[in-house]
Structure 1
Amino acid sequence: MSARPTPTARRVRLASELRKLRERAGLTATEAAKELGTSSGQLSNVETARFGVSAERIRAMARAYSCTDQELVTALAAMTGDRTRGWWEQYREVLPTGMLDLAELEHHAVALRTAYTAHIPGLLQTLDHAREIFRQSIPALTPPEIEHRASHRIKRQGVLYRPDPTPYRTIIHEAALRMKVGGPTVAREQLRYLLDMSERAHITILVIPFDVGAFPGSGQSVGYASGPVPQLDTVHLDQSHGPVLLDAEAQLAKYRQLLDRMEDVALDQEKARDHIHHIAQHL
C-alpha cells in the first residue's frame, strides 16, 4: 500500500465506502484488521485514504465483511484501477481543490443531472459566458486566474463530447435564461448554444418558466452524479466557497426527490426549446 498525502475526493469516497462496509459488518477496526491479517493502524490509513488499496485487497475486505453485493464490490474495485492523471491535474497548482474534485466526479459519473435557478449550467456555458461569470468573483480574480477557471470549465464539458458521452439532464429556470451575462450579444450566443446542445440525443434541457411561481428547490443549484451503482452516487452543491460533495444515503434520496419535483413543474424538452428560442429573439 502506498501513502497518498493529498488524496482526491474519489479516493476519499472509496475509503469512506470501505469503512461503511466494515461498520455494517459490525466489526471494529481491530477485529477487521485481525481478519485481514494486517494492523489496525494500516487499516485506519486505508479508511482515511492515506494509503491506496488494490482491487484484490478490496475483494478480500468484502469477503471478511460478508458483503454479498457483488455489483458494489466490483464498482469499488474499479475505483482503484484508473491510476492515470486526469486532465484536471494540470490545474492543481492554480485552482481550488474543489474544482478539480468536481471535474473528476463528472469524468467518472455514468449519468449527470443538474438544476440551476440563477445560472446557466457550467457544462453548457460558452467560453465568453464563463469568462464573464468569473469576472464577477469576489475577491476579484486576475486575468490569468479568470482564464484558468474558464478553460477548466470548458474542458469539463469534454464528458458531453467524448465517443461515449455521459447522459446529461438539466433543469434551468427562466431567470437564468434572461440574465444578459456579458451583454446581449454574449447572452444570445449562449442561448443559441443551449438550443444546439439540446438537439444532442444524450442531453435533455428542461425549463421552469416564471409562470410556475414557487416550486421545490427554488434558489438552489444542485448536481447529481450517478455512480456505477446507486450507493456510489454523489450530490454536489454550488457554494460561494466552492462545490460541496454529499453522499449520505438520506441526502441522496432527498436530492433525487427534489430534482424529480422540479422536473414535474418544468416544461418538457420541446416546449423548453421554444421558450429558449423566444427569449433569444427578444434579448
Structure 2
Amino acid sequence: MSETHAFTGRVLCEAACQLGEGATYDPASGKAFWFDIKGQKLHELHLATRTKAVHDLPFLGSVLAVVDAARQLIVSDQGLFLRTVADGRLTPFLTLEDKAVNRSNDGRVHPCGALWASTMGRSAEKHSGAIYHVAGTVVTKLFSNITIANSICFSPDGGTGYFVDSAVNRLMRVALDAKTGLPTGEPEGLSDQSGTPGDVDGSVCDAEGLIWNARWGGNGIDVYTPDGTKVAHHHVPALQTTCPAFIGEKADRLLVTSAWADMDGAARRADPLAGQTFELGIAVKGRFEPTFTL
C-alpha cells in the first residue's frame, strides 16, 4: 500500500523555470545542473556554497551528461553538443534525427557509458517522438511512435531499462544487455497509471532498484518497486514536478525540478512555487550518474 509523506524539504533555487527538466549532479565538482528547456537556460548550483550560475543556450537543451572534468554532453533540439566547462563553448557532436517538428526531452546515461535520449514534438504532436541509444558516435533508434518519452532510467546492474510515454501513462520496462545498454527483448508494462491524476514524468533508479518518479500534475515524487508496486508518494509544493536527481557527496539527497509551463495567471497564483527547484528533505540511497563514454 502506498504511503503519503508531507514535504519536509526546502527550496534549493527560487528561479522559476518555465519548464525545469534534465536534473543531474556531478560529484567531482559538487554541482547540480538542470535546464529550463523553453527558457533556453542551463542552471548550475554548487551545493556546498549555494553559488549559482545561469548559462544562456542557443537551443532547447534538455539532458546533460558528464564526459570528464573538462567536458559535458548536452542533448538539444539541434542535436548533441560537447560543452567545455571552463568557458561554456559548444561544439556540435552528433545528430539524433532530422525532424524539425521535434525537440529533445528526457535522457540518462546507462551504467555502461552509453546514452539513452528521447525526442518529442514541440507541441507534443502525437507519436512524433522516439528513444535513441548513443554509444560513442553510433546512434540507434530503440523505440518510435512515442508522444512524450520520459522516465528513462536503469536498474543498478544495468540489466533493466525503464521509460514511459507520458501521453499513455504506462511505465514500461525492458531487459537490456548490461554491457551495451541495448535491449535484449521487447518492452512490457510495469505500472499502469493511465487512470490516475497527473503524468509519469522524469525518473531515477536508486541503489536498491527503487524508481523515484516525478509526477507532472501530481505535486510530488512517487516511488515504485522493481515489480511496479507504488509504495510511496512524497509531496512537493509545486503541482508540475518534472525530474529528480540524486545529489550530495553520498548521493543521499534528492533534487526535484518543476515547471510553470501551460499555466495561466490564476493557476500560477494558486501555485506560487511553480518552476522552482527543491530538495525533498529525506535520506535516500541514491547512485551517481555514470559518465558518457566518447
CA radius of gyration, larger in: 1
Higher strand fraction: Structure 1 or Structure 2?
2
Higher helix fraction: Structure 1 or Structure 2?
1
